[in-house]
Amino acid sequence: MLICPTICYNKLVENKIIKNDKFRKIATNVKPDAKKRIVLSKAVTPEGVTYHIYCNEIGQIILDPHISIPASEVWLYKNTEAREAVAAGLKEADEGKVSRINLSDL
């Protein structure tokens, strides 16, 4: 039985970086350039993504993608009640349960 080395690495990492162990090879024999950079041209990288980089004792590297949110919006992620209200509103809108309001009546 072959065990993915990242599974072992995952057990050692405090924050459980590996959230899915279904890796796929996206390139072979990629060499760093003169400045020790590796181009991720074959990887799909969404707009605004930054990476935390992890390396284990045998040199395997994990890129953990992150997207930052503006500090002014952090309150929503910390406020469960507000987050649930937004989710409910989005669900209602998706179901077509919307109506027009006159902004001057507010």
Alpha-carbon gap, residue 90 to 103, rounded angstroms: 20
pLDDT number for residue 34: 94
- Higher-scoring residue by pLDDT: 12, 104: 104
Please determine, for residue 8, whether its predicted confidence score (pLDDT) is greater than 60.
Answer: no
C-alpha 80/C-alpha 8 separation (Å) is: 34
Range 28-67 burial, b when 16+ CB lie within 10 A, else e? eeeeeeeeeeeeeeeeeeeeeeeeeeeeeeeeeebbeeee
pLDDT digits (tens, 9 = 90+) for 34-47: 999 988 777 777 88
What is the pLDDT at residue 71?
Answer: 93
Q: What is the pTM of this model?
A: 0.52
16 or 69, which is more confident: 69
Phi, then psi, of 44 in degrees rounded to 5 = -85, 115
Span 55-103, pLDDT tens digits: 888 888 888 888 888 999 999 989 999 999 999 999 999 999 988 888 8
Instruction: State the Cα–Cα distance between residues 66 and 48, nearest whole angstrom.
Output: 9
Query: Is residue 1 scored above 50 in pLDDT?
Result: no
